[in-house]
A and B are shown apart, each in its own frame.
Chain A
């Protein structure tokens, strides 16, 4: 992430849904995706904001998301893809709902 920030400046994440590369987090230069009224900011990762769509948040909110990175190839317009890696979400159950 630090090298992505060096190359692109501040970042943002948005959790995708649907198929293909859905269910995977997308990483963009901050402000690239227009954040809508119903998007939920889940928190920050190393100072960079992480969002999810409101409807999807309702169905995911009982889980804690862990942002990981694995070797991989591509996904939408996510910034890390040309480096041969891919951000990945791992999940834990929240202890208290």
Chain B
């Protein structure tokens, strides 16, 4: 396959030239932060800063909420056909700028451009189109309760919603949350992750001419300074958050102060189960299963559903792991803007340090290091970037590396002896977001898929994120579902009109 290297942003010939400084996007305009402070935004590709971002505080959150509340009545009453048309226009604008947004996302997050071109951007674009379509097809319900009485159920928007998103798929996670909220007729105040604040500003430039002012607002800054006042505000009708468990608890606690709903996506420790029959033939399906094993390296392992626990049936363990290790060895870190690179940089220095600390405890607990296990230093401008070699550990499920999401390209592999053992190990976790099942036997596939306590069980596939397949967690992995039309319900009230057309009095008084 022929490969090419995109020019680094802010250099000659690049598709992306950032402004030196980005303000908040409020009421359809760029608005400087009230306190006039900014923070440096570092590219994990090089470890060096490339722009400044607004460091917002409660006053900026209030200003964004003013703008959103100013827009919400008109937006909520905008006809579905018109809202859908605007969502489609957003998708078209993103598609026309696909390469530019993909390069920016790679520069801001560190992930390879191969993935942003083929996954992040196409999925985000499709998400706006999907919810534009859902919106046109949505309808309430009507029930005849008796001859003279009818109950109408009409969907109404919640109003202004707060959305706090993570840094692993910055634009895609924005699309997952913003598209259904806007489709349902809400106005949004979005707080991007402080690690990856840049591409959303390019997105804001694109939608500024499409959406009415105040419908979509971005407040940048640190969680404690900007995210917290947003999550605590009595002026938001709902809080949606993707992140981790302690912050998830805090978000619920804040929401309880205002009695508003939350949806939470809090990650997992997803099992990827390989039954013996995957090795029965040396065919395309065996190759697909091996690729499924290597999926732990997708997005440098920084995925809530990273298949970070591989469970392999004992009878095929040695043969399977030999092939799986060879497959993984071929994934070498390289320049993220090179279209041939299949693993890029971890998103931040602290993320790198955390991954290395987990590799350390893995060794101390006696797990066998089969591959990788170290930071990789690349030459030239990448020398200070945050690169880790794909790492395979072998051990048992009680080890810490099997129990906590490392959020890096690290897979922990254990054996199992038969179906019951596989399900028992798969479910021995606090989390339940994703899982994978690989088998040629349809009975095993369906039984295992139903028995694993997780919101999404990829069956003979992994890491597909199509719109119209619900995504969300069991157990401590969160509350609510995304990427499906049922998401509209998470962003709507139900109005019941109970109508009588009986002219006679009831006869009570």
Bound form: Cα–Cα A34–B39 in Å: 30
Main secondary structure of the interface of A (DSSP, over half): mixed
CB-CB contacts below 8 Å: A47-97 with B: 53, 55-56, 59-60, 63, 70-79, 81-82, 86, 88-93
Q: Which residues of A contact B458 (CB under 8 A)?
A: none
Q: State whether B223 touches A74 (Cβ < 8 A).
A: yes
If A23-B405, A82-B222 touch, whether A18 touches B349 (CB-CB below 8 Å) is no
Q: How far is the CB of B243 from chain A (nearest CB, A)?
A: 5
Q: How far is the CB of A41 from chain B (nearest CB, A)?
A: 15
The reply to whether the CB of B78 lies closer than 8 angstroms to some CB of chain A is no
Q: Which residues of B contact A77 (CB under 8 A)?
A: 223-224, 227-228, 247, 250
Q: State whether A18 touches B357 (Cβ < 8 A).
A: no
Q: Which residues of A contact B349 (CB under 8 A)?
A: 70-73
Name which of A55, A71, A75, A93 has the most chain B CB atoms within 10 A of its CB: A75
Q: State whether A18 touches B194 (Cβ < 8 A).
A: no
B484-505 vs A, CB cutoff 8 Å, 1 = contact: the mask equals: 0000000000000000000000
Chain A residue nearest to B243 (CB atoms) is A20
B238-254 vs A, CB cutoff 8 Å, 1 = contact: the mask equals: 00001111111110010
Number of chain B interface residues as a range: 35 or more
The reply to whether the CB of B112 lies closer than 8 angstroms to some CB of chain A is no
B212-252 vs A, CB cutoff 8 Å, 1 = contact: the mask equals: 00000000001111011000000000000011111111100
The reply to whether the CB of B138 lies closer than 8 angstroms to some CB of chain A is no
Q: Which residues of A contact B421 (CB under 8 A)?
A: none
The reply to whether the CB of B415 lies closer than 8 angstroms to some CB of chain A is no
Q: State whether A22 touches B245 (Cβ < 8 A).
A: yes
Q: State whether A70 touches B245 (Cβ < 8 A).
A: no
Binding site for A on B (CB under 8 A): 39, 42, 55, 166-168, 193-195, 222-225, 227-228, 242-250, 253, 266-268, 303-304, 306, 348-351, 353-354, 357-358, 360-361, 364-365, 398, 400, 403-407, 430-431, 476-477
A32-B250, A59-B430, A81-B224 given; name 7 further pairs at CB < 8 Å: A18-B304, A20-B168, A23-B404, A59-B400, A76-B243, A82-B55, A92-B364
9 of the cross-chain contacts (CB-CB < 8 Å) are A18-B245, A19-B243, A26-B246, A63-B365, A72-B349, A74-B195, A77-B228, A81-B222, A81-B223
